[in-house]
Each structure stands twice: as structure tokens, then as C-alpha cells.
Structure 1
Amino acid sequence: MALQPAREGKEAKKDPQSGAGSSMQLFTWEDIGLCTGQGHPQQEQWLVIDRKIYDIGQFYQRHPGGAQIISHYAGQDATTQAGYLQHDLGHLSVFSKRKWNQVVHMFVIGQLMGMSASWWKLTHVQHHAKPNCICKDPDLSMHPILFTLGKVLSVELGMKKKKFMPYNHQHKYFFVTILPFLFPVYFQYFAFHKTIQRKDWVDLAWILSFYIRFFLTYEPLLGVKSLLGFYLLLRVLESIWFVWVLFMSHIPMNIDYDKNLDWFSTQLQATCNVDQSLFNDWFTGHQNFQIEHHLFPTMPPYNYWKVAPLVKSLCAKHSIEYHCKPLLTAFADVVHNSRETRVSLWITQWRILLNMKQQTKKNTNVKIHKEWDREC
């Protein structure tokens, strides 16, 4: 089904006066921002592509890239996003034909890794669309159950006096929770849960084929107990690598609610690079060029270094900060940021509230004392 414009001739313009004399109906960005489909049940759900407004209220559930990803752009400009909704294996950068990328992606992630291709695609596309945006980037789902993330959210938790974990120690339990167990626990659970929930039986069959192959290959050599230990060891090592590579490029960066910034600025404020070297390129699979990865998701990773100087010059031209740091500094920033910035902000806000409460109680006691003296 092709997506049709909301109304014939409807066009988006930031300045309605600039379209004077035109037969098209013009709307301000404020008008568009009100049509998110989240208010009244009859409210339209608009997004803008190439300055044309589309009502996606009857379409988003059938959107081939997933309902959530297109809904994240309701009331916003989705022009740049439309280009890479369908990226799969290597962000469609391994083979020239899209079908080959999809088939091999399903084989690699399902048969060789025991993960869900559809679940990965759904969550990863949302991450690329709105990186580090609360409620829109699934990679931030650990907040606030396990960790408090970002300055804004830390203060918000303090204001609401919510505390699910001892956040002042999160830089310590990071090493014994999310670092080793993201893959063997969190990812494995959601891979099965979401696949069964979506009734994606082909994807489930690929996942199960991994476990069948793994058991038939190693059980005769190791036995059941040693096999389980070997499997857990592999998953823990995989998790440690993945968490460092993912977190170092995003967690120390700005984390906030969606501010409806332009696409380029949204990517740059949420990502940072790690210095290029033979080891860094190998260790991260060229994901040390995370900025370029987010700007050009369908580009083969080994070409990121070629476009990096152009991105740097563009950032310098428009006074946009381009973050790049050494590998060990990037690792340290994950822990340092967790320990110092976010936790200190949360504790500070908590103490402010406690002081306010104590001051209110003190003022109440003084008032009662004065009333008692007056009565006497």
C-alpha cells in the first residue's frame, strides 16, 4: 500500500507568509507538531517528507519498517529518515542486492548467533532514528530499572524521589550486571519473547537451529555440564565486547527527550568516535567511526575513514562539535560519567528535596509553637 498525502495539495512551510499566493494549504511547524496522534482518539498523525504532510494514522500499523519507527516521527520532519528504514545485514552494505542482505543476515544472526533478526532490526532502526532519545531509543531501556542515565533524567528521578537501585554505586555494579549479562540474559530473553509475541515462526526456527547445532556439535565432546559452562562463557565474552563498543560511543553523550532537532544534529550530539588505528578498527569492526556509521548507515564500514574528514569539515563549517577520543579514554568515560555526572546530579537533587522537606517541617513546627504561645 502506497502512503498517500493527508490532503490534496497540503504542504509544510516554516513561514506561512513565504507561500503567499500559492494554491496549496500551508501549515506552520507548530501546527504539525500538534498532530502526533497521542491526544484525542480522533487526532490525526502527521509527518513531513520533502515538505509534504502525510497523515499516517491509517498506515503506520502496516509500515514495512515497523509501526514504532515511523510513529517516532509523528509531528516532525521525516525526510532524511525515509532513506534507510529497510537496512538489514550490515545496514544493506554487504551485498548490492537487498534480498541477499536480508537472507544472509537472517542466517548469520539466527543460525550462527542464536538471535532474532526481526527483533534486532526493529530495535536497531529505532536506535538509528532517535539515538539517545528517551522513550524512543530502545538502547536506553535500562533506565531507570538498573541505571540512571543522562543529566535530565537523573534530576527528574530526584525530583520525583524515585529510586529503584542504589544509583550511587551503579559504576560498581555495572561490572557485574549489564557488562557480563546483557547478551546471555537480556538479549536472549527478548529475542525469544518478541519473536513468539510477533508469531515470527521462521525467525524462531533460525534461533532454535543455532541451539540444536551447538548441542549436537559440542555435547559429545564436553558433556552437558561443561557444554552449558562453555556456552555461558561465550555469551559473557560476547556481552563484554558488545557493551564496551556500544556504550563508549553513546552513553557519555547527551541523553534527553526528543527535542525535534534536525537529523544531522540529532546524530552528532548522541554519538562520538574513537581514534583510528589498526587495533581499534579490528576490535570494534570499524564501529569506532560511530558518527559516520550513523550518518551513512548503508555505507560499508571499511569506508568510514574515507568520509570522516568530510564530516569533520562540515561540522567545523556549521560550528557543530565533532567528538573523537582514544580507546581507553572512551572506556573510562563510560564509568566516569556513570559515577560522577549522573550520580552526583541525582544525589544532589535528592538532597535538595530532603532539605526542602526538612525546612517545611521546621516552618510548620515554628508556626505551631507560635500558635501555642498565643493561646497561653
Structure 2
Amino acid sequence: MAVLPDTEPTSKKYISLEELKKHNKRDDLWISIHGKIYNVTNWAKHHPGGDLPLLNLAGQDVTDAFLAYHPINASKYLQNFFNGYYLSDYAVSEVSKDYRKLLSHFSSIGLFEKKGHGVFFTLWFMVILFCASVYGVFFNDNPFVHLGCGGLMGLFWIQSGWIGHDSGHYQIMATKGFTRFAQVLSGNCLAGISIAWWKWNHNAHHIACNSLDFDPDLQHMPFFVVSNKFFNSITSYFYDRKMNFDGFTRFLVSYQHWTFYPVMCFARLNLFAQSFILLFSKRNVPNRVQELLGLLVFWIWYPLLVSYLPNWSERILFVIASFSVTGIQHVQFCLNHFSSSVYLGHPSSSEWVEKQTNGTLDVKCSPWMDWFHGGLQFQVEHHLFPRMPRNHLRTVSPFVKELCKKHNVPYHCVSFWNANVLTIQTLRNAALLARNLSNPIPKNLVWEAVNTHG
């Protein structure tokens, strides 16, 4: 794995980084890898990770991002897109040099290939949870057992989420075909969430980690904002629309630190909706019909299971229990990023390590609790090495800490409790600012009713 480009003959054609930056549009998309320039304009729509990662990093040297997301053998395909130019002012920072050395070392000892038995145990755990939940509904008349079965279904969905997350980053099964089967079964069929939507959303999040206008995982208006920069009604480049901070949004945001956990209990509804919005959109969605059929399976078996309960009160409680328990996972997704550093604007590949560590937070936990966090407890490590199977994240954590310490790069790690505290503090700070802007926008009737006379 090269760190610095070889000395090139003077006959080679060179362009500067400033010139490269001009080629940053959908119909004119160039990138640099190891100082060589590639024209990926026509490839973007065929890119397995979607076109957004390429569009978001267009006109930049993307060496670190490319190495993070692709195995070494992917480099052999680059020549098809080489346009004959080299980057004249290509340089590698000291932190990037050490980062690439770590990547090379982890690859040489097989950490990206050795997946262990984590997926096997997770799948069997899912089978047990699912069968126990269904058995309790069909063969027990106790309403408290039915309520507990709803909770088990929520735990089942959490574990299916970890499988979906892992399979979006690396091949979790022996072949790509079996991996795809596991994705659609655990995600679409059993959890009601399109794996195509998940990969589209999650790839954009990783590339633009904690960019307010490019990272979809921070764009939760009108319910939540993590920065007062949202008060300026910024444009989401992921959803391709303006996020308006109107009176209704201000009202909800002003109390977001109180509504955070209740909303998380039903955040799954948004994932259901986003799955269908993508699959019925005009975007290029691979295996669209297969994805839709998988969701259809979910919307057949889950309502049928709920309908088997004896009355409406038990049915509603079962749904609330299953949604609320899986809400724990939605909280976990937020803990890793909400209280971390945010910025406005395009993601920068030249500061790959710094952007990933600044925008992420690790959670301390004992090894026996790794099943609960699904790898998110090592979020810094995961963002730096997204192809790393989660059973190795604890192994590489000391190396990442040393890298950050050597180059004075932030490495944040707190307990699960403190991660919740930091998240609520972030939401509260933004909420108080939303209530006290010097030039308030027109207040709606709800705002007036709540805030009259202080």
C-alpha cells in the first residue's frame, strides 16, 4: 500500500489541487487517489456504495476514504478511470501516513477477513428471540406474557439491525449471495427496513460524519437539532431540500431534551417511511422489486401476528413494547454523534482521520456487553476502519488510541450513562437557544399558548 507517490517522469501531465476542485459536479466528477486523477463521472451511478460518497468528495484527493472502504484488490479497477493526469501538489500528512500504516498492518494480519463466529451467534440469538415471541403470542393467554413477547420482538429487531449494519460494511457470510440473502431476510422481511435505504443513508453518514448539511444522521428537523446553525434553515444535500426552522419546529426543538426518549420509542416509524420513500422514488435503487417484496413479507406477518392477540388493548401494548425496546438502538445511534463536534459544509477527505474522530464518541463497556452495543461502543474505530468486523474492534482500539495520542487528535470515550447525559445536555443547550433568539421568527398559536406570561 503506497504512502507517497513514486517520482514521475517530467513528461507526465499534472494539474493542481485547485484545478481538481473545479471538477466537482455530477456531470464532471474527478477524484485523486495516491496522486493519480480519475474521471468517475460515468461510474458514479454504478458505484456499489451509491453516487453520494463520490459526489460529496468530488474534486478532492480521496486516498484515505478509498483505502478505508475498499479492499486492496479494488485498486486494480482504478486504471479504467485514469484520465492521464497527476496531482502536482499531492502531499500526505503525518497522521495519514500512520493511519495508512495501520490499515496495511491490519490487512496483512487478516483482520478484515477473519469474521469469527459473531454473525453465527447473532443469527441464532435472533431465531431464539423470534420463536419465543411468536410462541408466547400463540400459546399463552397471559396478557403480561404477551407484553413481554412484544419486548422480545424489540430485542429481535435490535439484533437484526446489527446484522444489517455489519452486512452493509463487509461480507458477513461465505458468499455475496448468502450475504444478500441475510440482508433481505433480517432487514426487509423480518424488520421492515429496506437494506437499500440503510446502505444509501449510512454510506452518506460515514463519508460526511457530523456535517450538518451533508450527514443525514443529524438532520432530524422538526424534532431535533444539535446546533443553532439549524436555526438558519440550512439546506440538506442528502434529502435535496431546505430544512425550514419555522414556528412549529422551534416549538418542538425548545423541548427536545424532554421529548428525546419518547420520540426514540417510535423512531422506527420514520425508518419504515424512509424505506418506502426511497423505493418509490426515481432514484436508481438496485434490486428495487426484491426490496419491495421483502417489505411486503414484513407487512404481512407482523400485522397477522399482532391480530392474533385477543383484544385491541393487548395488540396496542404489544406494538408499543416492541417499538419502545427497539428504541434503545435508536438512542444508541444518537449517542455516538449528537454530542460530538459538528461543522457546516462539504466533508473533507484531506482531513479524514480528524473528521472521523472529531465527530464520534466511544462508549465504555465490558466485553460481555458487546452484544448489546453491536460494535457502536467502538464508534471511533468503526469510522476509521468501516470494513473491520466488529469482533476485532476491541483488538484494534489500543492502536487507534495511540494514533490519536501521537498526533493530538481527539479520542472521546465515556460510559453509557455519561453518553446519555452529554446527549441530553447538547439537546438542552440547543433548546434554550431556540427559545431566546434575539430576532424571533413569527410564533404560531401553540408557541403562544405555552409561553404566554413566561
TM range (shorter): 0.7 to 0.9
Matched, 1:266 2:343: no
Matching residue within 216, 225, 250 for 1:148: 225
Note the alpha carbon deviations across 1:192-211, whole angstroms, 9 max, x for none: 22123258111111111123
User: Quick one: which amino acid aligns to residue 291 of structure 1?
Assistant: V
| 1:116/1:191 contact within 8 Å kept | yes
Matched, 1:255 2:342: yes
Matched, 1:175 2:261: yes
The size of the alignment, in residue pairs, is: 326
User: Quick one: which amino acid aligns to residue 316 of structure 1?
Assistant: K
| Counterpart-to-counterpart distance in 1, 2:309 and 2:295 | 22
| Counterpart-to-counterpart distance in 2, 1:222 and 1:78 | 57
SS at match of 1:289: helix
Gaps in structure 2 of 5+ consecutive residues: 72-164, 235-242, 441-454
User: Quick one: which amino acid aligns to residue 205 of structure 1?
Assistant: L
| Counterpart-to-counterpart distance in 2, 1:209 and 1:181 | 21
Matching residue within 105, 115, 118 for 2:196: 118
Note the alpha carbon deviations across 1:98-143, whole angstroms, 9 max, x for none: 3322221111111221111111111111111221113322212214
Deviation at 1:232, TM superposition (A): 3.8
User: Quick one: which amino acid aligns to residue 35 of structure 1?
Assistant: H
Higher relative contact order (CA 8 A, sep 6+): 2
Aligned position for 1:319:
408
| Counterpart-to-counterpart distance in 2, 1:301 and 1:161 | 38
| 2:32/2:38 contact within 8 Å kept | yes
Matched, 1:191 2:275: yes
Deviation at 1:32, TM superposition (A): 1.6
Deviation at 1:174, TM superposition (A): 2.2
User: Quick one: which amino acid aligns to residue 81 of structure 1?
Assistant: A
Deviation at 1:37, TM superposition (A): 1.3
SS at match of 1:45: strand
1:68 to 1:118, Cα distance in 2 relative to 1, 3 A: same
Aligned position for 1:300:
389
Aligned position for 2:53:
69
Aligned position for 1:56:
40
| 2:337/2:361 contact within 8 Å kept | yes
Residue pairs, 1:1-376, within 5 angstroms: 22-37=10-25, 44-83=28-67, 84=69, 89=167, 91-92=169-170, 94-143=172-221, 145-150=222-227, 153-154=229-230, 156=232, 162-163=245-246, 164-166=249-251, 167-177=253-263, 179-183=264-268, 185-197=269-281, 198=285, 200-222=288-310, 226-239=314-327, 241-257=328-344, 258-260=346-348, 261-278=350-367, 280-340=369-429, 342-345=430-433, 350-351=437-438, 353=439
1:222 to 1:33, Cα distance in 2 relative to 1, 3 A: farther
| 1:60/1:66 contact within 8 Å kept | yes
Note the alpha carbon deviations across 1:228-274, whole angstroms, 9 max, x for none: 542343123212x1222111110100111235142211210111101
| Counterpart-to-counterpart distance in 2, 1:211 and 1:162 | 34
TM-score (normalizing by structure 2): 0.64
| Counterpart-to-counterpart distance in 1, 2:435 and 2:306 | 49
Deviation at 1:55, TM superposition (A): 2.5
| Counterpart-to-counterpart distance in 2, 1:187 and 1:237 | 15
Deviation at 1:295, TM superposition (A): 1.6
SS at match of 2:31: strand
SS at match of 1:283: helix
SS at match of 2:250: coil
| Counterpart-to-counterpart distance in 1, 2:195 and 2:233 | 34
| Counterpart-to-counterpart distance in 2, 1:107 and 1:161 | 37
Deviation at 1:345, TM superposition (A): 4.9
| 2:209/2:356 contact within 8 Å kept | yes
SS at match of 2:428: helix
Larger Rg: 1
Query: Which segment drifts farther, 262-271 or 28-37?
Result: 28-37
| Counterpart-to-counterpart distance in 1, 2:226 and 2:305 | 41
